[in-house]
Amino acid sequence: MTPPEESVIKTWEIATVGGPRIAVAQLNAEKALNALTLEMIDLLAGHMAAWAKDPDIAIVLIEGAGERAFCAGADLRRMHRSMAEHRASDCAQDIRGNDYALAFFCREYRLDYAIHTYPKPVLVWGHGVVMGGGVGLMVGASHRVVTEHAKVAMPEISIGLYADVGGSWFLGRAPGNTGLFLALTAAQLDAGDAIFAGLADFSIAHARKADVLGALGTHAWGRDSERNAAALTRLLQGFESEAPAPGPLRRNVDLIHRLCRVEDPVELVNCLVGLRSEDAWLQRAAATLSAGSPTTAALSIALQRRLRHQSLAQVFRAEFAASLTCGVRPDLSEGIRALLIDKDRNPRWSPARIEAVSPEWIDGFFESPWTAEDHPLADLGS
């Protein structure tokens, strides 16, 4: 094993008995819970592209530094500064005018899409906090491990964004309307519920990680990616913990499905907010939605419904415009301010109530200033 390089993305390789090696990428921002910066995205994307072309790399492993998190999302403070600078500029209403947001969302979504479509097995070790952009990195991997300490969530409603990074695609495929519920409530999932929702594949005790890495090194990997993927599945199954007991998402799936199939967005949100239950998990979910951005709630419903039959590439292109629009509308800046800048946890949402969020306001998030041909993500695929 070669020593890792010192960087916000550390990389090294694990030698194997068969010749082809395991490439490891570690998100190395432990104090920030490995939250993604543009530098981290660019470095990881570059390594992934190189490993995809290297015939001597059999598998890519992505992990987070430290014991607390795989990845807690994005560097929101830098995003907040960029929005303030953009508002003070001469192009404050042009969603293309925030150079940092344009670069961040474009390159983040490209990286996520590359993981979804990677030509080799990608193993993500989802330990601790896996939220927002961290889910975006994990969910597209071919082999997704969550540990007993995993805390998986899409918490964007609390900052005035929405469940992006392809969430309009992968959450829409979760069972029984649970994906919409997760986008609206930021409800936290344990390992069992993450697997139930389709966001992970294997539950393995974190204490067994060293054993898993050792097994990766002693297996004779070849250069056939499909065979390597099948072998990696068998290897990980050998380390799986006993099946977790049904978590709160699975226990409440019938109730969630019934509540989230309500057609009218205002009625749907009010039904969830008004939910009366002795289940503490459901209580927290309702409280989070009640305190969250009404625009995010309406947008989340619209995205999952309008993009239901779109391809992953089409979803990323639609989310790109929606995310940049969030950057010029008031709630994202205000949500980050309340949570991270002033820390008063008292965001002043605009509009302040779901009843005041008009269809025209939501339609604006779907308007793109690009043609199909010149869209920055046009080359992702059809």
In this predicted model, what pLDDT tens digit does every residue of 166-183 receive, in sequence order?
999 999 999 999 999 999
Residue 341 scores a pLDDT above 90: yes
Average pLDDT in the 292-318 region? 98
Sheet holding 69-71, edge to edge: 69-71, 129-131, 151-153
How many folded domains does the chain comprise? 1
* Residues 52, 29: Cα–Cα separation, whole Å: 24
Q: How do residues 8-30 score in pLDDT, each as one tens digit?
A: 999 999 999 988 999 999 999 99
pLDDT at 3: 41
Domain presence at residue 47: yes
Domain presence at residue 19: yes
Q: Judge contact between 166 and 104, C-beta under 8 A.
A: no
Domain presence at residue 1: no
Domain presence at residue 161: yes
Domain presence at residue 370: yes
pLDDT at 6: 61
Domain presence at residue 3: no
* Token pair belonging to 9: 């993305």
* Token pair belonging to 340: 């991270």
Domain hosting 329: range is 9-380
Domain presence at residue 249: yes
Percent of the chain with pLDDT over 90: 96
- Which pLDDT band holds residue 89 (cuts at 50, 70, 90)? very high
Q: How do residues 238-272 score in pLDDT, each as one tens digit?
A: 999 998 889 999 999 999 999 999 999 999 999 99
Residue 322 belongs to domain with CATH number: 3.90.226.10
The angle formed by the CA atoms of residues 154, 160 and 62, to the nearest 5 degrees, is 35
Percent of the chain with pLDDT over 70: 98
